Amino acid sequence: MIPPAFEYHRPQDVASAVQILAEQGDEARCLAGGHSLIPMMKLRMAAVEHLVDLQDIAEMQGITTESGTIRIGAMVTQHELITSDALASAAPIIREAALQIADPQVRYMGTVGGNVANGDPGNDMPGLMQALDATFHLHGPDGARDVAAREFFEAAYMTAREDEEILTAITFAPHAKGYAYEKQKRKIGDYATAAAAVLIEKDGMVAGNATVAMTNLSDTPVFSEAAGAALTGTSCDAHAMKAAIDAMLNDIDPTEDNRGPVEFKRHVAGVILSRAISRAWDRA
């Protein structure tokens, strides 16, 4: 399987990349790690006339954790997320989730920016970024703008990013404790049957602010505000856990596919969320 012919571009900075996108319109696509796009091109499910490879753009690389904000360049790979000690202490949920994505070879190539910008409901980073209340930084012909992760995902493969815009970086506040990313998958390399990102801040003996986001249980990641609210002010006991799961089940809308029927997915979603809440609370 070989992709159809295309013109290849490898710009050196964001401005040149945006210019190519603006000139070529919807015939151009950005290439990050390529492990979602190249398979789709091989299958002729993605038609690309101009491929804009972002690998040389220095401004889209690197992880910084200074002055209370974590910034991850969009071209940072899953492997780099996993091996960053600074990230592991400032936001360990990132490493926990990245280790559950695909397999080692794919993680050397797959990027955090590709994972969120692709808009695939099966990707793990979108829900995680919603739980972290991350901000996505976009660059287009009219300049830069920011979109909250919780506002970014519109439908499967449809996001707030315009065709001629590039997602260049992600920022969020540190969250060192009270975290868990729990994922049920059929085998290594599979997308989630259900996955949950949970962050809980401890306020004395009870949970303070708590956030819950679910992966692959709707056509977008599901940020369940009600599930988080059900945990706040509780000791995450069985009663609170049940309330959070009931709230989450109200917000998801899974469809039947080869990972199972709707009823099964709802069951797995509940189990996964309860595990994630227990683990996050233990670590809070």
Residues making contact with other proteins (CB under 8 A): 1-8, 10, 31, 34-35, 38-39, 42, 51, 53, 55, 79, 102-106, 108-109, 188-189
- Non-local (6+) Cβ contacts of 61 within 8 A are 73, 75, 76
CA geometry: angle 255, 259, 264, nearest 5 deg: 70
Minimum distance of other proteins from residue 207's CB (angstroms): 32
Minimum distance of other proteins from residue 104's CB (angstroms): 5
State the Cα torsion 28-32-35-39 to the nearest 10°. Answer: 10
CB nearer to other proteins: pick between 50 and 275: 50
Minimum distance of other proteins from residue 98's CB (angstroms): 13
CB nearer to other proteins: pick between 105 and 250: 105
DSSP assignments along 14-54, one per residue: HHHHHHHHHHHGGGEEEESS-TTHHHHHHTTSS--SEEEE-
CB nearer to other proteins: pick between 102 and 277: 102
CB nearer to other proteins: pick between 54 and 241: 54
Minimum distance of other proteins from residue 209's CB (angstroms): 33
Single-letter amino acid, residue 279:
R
How many whole angstroms separate alpha carbon 222 and alpha carbon 102? Answer: 21
8 Å CB contact between 44 and 4 = yes
DSSP assignments along 233-248, one per residue: TS---HHHHHHHHHHH
Q: Which residues pair with 199 in a beta bridge?
A: 179, 211
CB nearer to other proteins: pick between 35 and 279: 35
Minimum distance of other proteins from residue 150's CB (angstroms): 31
Minimum distance of other proteins from residue 188's CB (angstroms): 4
Minimum distance of other proteins from residue 59's CB (angstroms): 19
Q: Which helix (H) or strand (E) holds 104?
A: helix 104-109
CB nearer to other proteins: pick between 104 and 141: 104
CB nearer to other proteins: pick between 31 and 60: 31
CB nearer to other proteins: pick between 37 and 170: 37
Minimum distance of other proteins from residue 3's CB (angstroms): 5
SS (H, E, C) 201-231: EEECCEEEEEEEEEECCCCCCEECHHHHHHH
How many whole angstroms separate alpha carbon 223 and alpha carbon 215? Answer: 9
8 Å CB contact between 87 and 64 = no
